Amino acid sequence: MNTSPLFLHFILIHCVPQFDPAGACQPYLKVYQGMQVVCVSGVYRVGAAHRDRICIALEPAQLLKGDITVKCFHTSSRTERDDIFRVQVHTGAVQAYSLVFQKHDMEHANKDARFPDYGKVELVFSDGPERISGSERWQNGPDVTVDYMSTDSLSKWKSYQNICSAEEQNSCASSPGISQRQDVDKKHDEEFSSLTLDIHHSIHQLNQLILDLDHTFVPISTKPSCLSRAGGADTQTLQTGSLSALVCQHSITPLALPCKLIIPDRDPLEDAVSASSQSITNSAAELLKQGAACNVWFLGSVEMESLTGFQAVQKATTAVLSTDSLPSSTAVHFKVSSQGITLTDNQRKLFFRRHYAVNTVIFCALDPQDRKWKRDGCSSAKIFGFVERKAASGLENVCHVFAEHDPEQPASAIINFISKVMIGSQRT
């Protein structure tokens, strides 16, 4: 069994499915660890001419452990979506850093004529968060763009809600005049046919792993009757259509358990997560008071009119890199504090010092096209920028573009500190 850390970097969709009559596809991904959403990608808008492959990159790479589910959807509109595929794997069963699923291995895709018969999906892992060497060959062409703004509230914990939904259905639909156990026996499959949890694939993988180590092992059956039989219930056979249904039935009557299950009306982990987040926020707030600083390459500033967000950073980066002669970068001291962002030109080449007040900095992000700065001895320094709203006009924006200077001070750390701590402190 694989016990090494696994970081998921890319999901490659080989041979693009035809979901959109006007183009090829507009997919986005949700990655679950257990029943919890851990990552939601942007919406990839794929042109009709792009038919070879889509590379969906997870930035940063996701450290995963246990049962992992990847769901892919096509966005037909802002409020509607179609299922493209769903795959599930246990990290203990991953023996290589590339895991390929054929069409017949994927839920939804295996019955959808819009997904090509020779199409496949590849999950690309590594043992660390660093960018995989040679991954540039998977980069999408110019007819694939990424929309980070349309992926709204997509990270709900639907599996947890399914259990609570099943509980409500049971309490409302119970027939009068019969006992709870009779009611359960009558409706055991019909009530919960829509609540599915694909655990068969993980159990099959677990069987294979144990058999490799112990040939006398008797494999666990994946039949519903065996998966859903309560421990110790020798006098009765309880069958359900899903794990959600099994949990819900035991919240109605104890059956073989010593008492009924109590299903909370909200996520029991919320309090723990909130307490942990508050502790992190307090530490970051203390650091913000003192100020955090590093050196970066200053590439230039571009007027954006009223444009902001990822589009502003992308447009400004394009403007800086598309000049006849690349700009002469300048090493600057980049300090973030509770007062805002202060730039100090180390060699006084362009300016002495510039300060951007905290209430004028409205956005900060990496270049959405993941372009790199390859001058000044840098092989692949990431480019990022922040958007400043001019205090005088209140309507015009300027995007200031930078590149990484020190490998030990990555752009992602700078962006997180600005976005979540400095800008975030103004919104609370």
Indicate whether 58 and 115 sit together in one domain.
Answer: yes
Indicate whether 306 and 245 sit together in one domain.
Answer: no
Q: Is the pTM of this model over 0.85?
A: no
Domain containing 44 equals 6-153
Diameter of the chain by CA atoms?
A: 87
Indicate whether 203 and 292 sit together in one domain.
Answer: no
> Could you report the per-residue pLDDT of 284-326, keeping only the tens digit for each?
566 666 667 889 999 999 998 888 889 999 999 999 888 766 6
Number of domains making up the chain: 3
Indicate whether 224 and 310 sit together in one domain.
Answer: no
Indicate whether 330 and 365 sit together in one domain.
Answer: yes
What Å distances lie between residue 296 and 4, 70, 360, CA to CA?
34, 36, 21
> Could you report the per-residue pLDDT of 334-346, keeping only the tens digit for each?
998 888 899 999 8
> Could you report the per-residue pLDDT of 368-377, keeping only the tens digit for each?
998 988 877 7
Determine, yes or no, domain membership for 282: no
Determine, yes or no, domain membership for 302: yes
Indicate whether 134 and 184 sit together in one domain.
Answer: no
Determine, yes or no, domain membership for 387: yes
Indicate whether 79 and 185 sit together in one domain.
Answer: no
What Å distances lie between residue 367 and 67, 104, 294, 384, CA to CA?
32, 37, 19, 5
Strand partners, 381: 373
Indicate whether 17 and 148 sit together in one domain.
Answer: yes
Indicate whether 145 and 195 sit together in one domain.
Answer: no
Instruction: Please check whether residue 46 is in contact with residue 24, taking contact to mean a CB–CB distance below 8 angstroms.
Output: yes
Indicate whether 190 and 312 sit together in one domain.
Answer: no
Indicate whether 144 and 205 sit together in one domain.
Answer: no
Choosing from 233, 252, 271, the residue where a domain stops is 252
Indicate whether 168 and 133 sit together in one domain.
Answer: no
> Could you report the per-residue pLDDT of 185-214, keeping only the tens digit for each?
454 444 333 333 444 555 566 566 666 666
Reading phi first (left if > 0) and then psi (alpha if -120 to 50, else beta), residue 285 is in alpha
Tell me the CATH number at 38: 2.60.40.1110
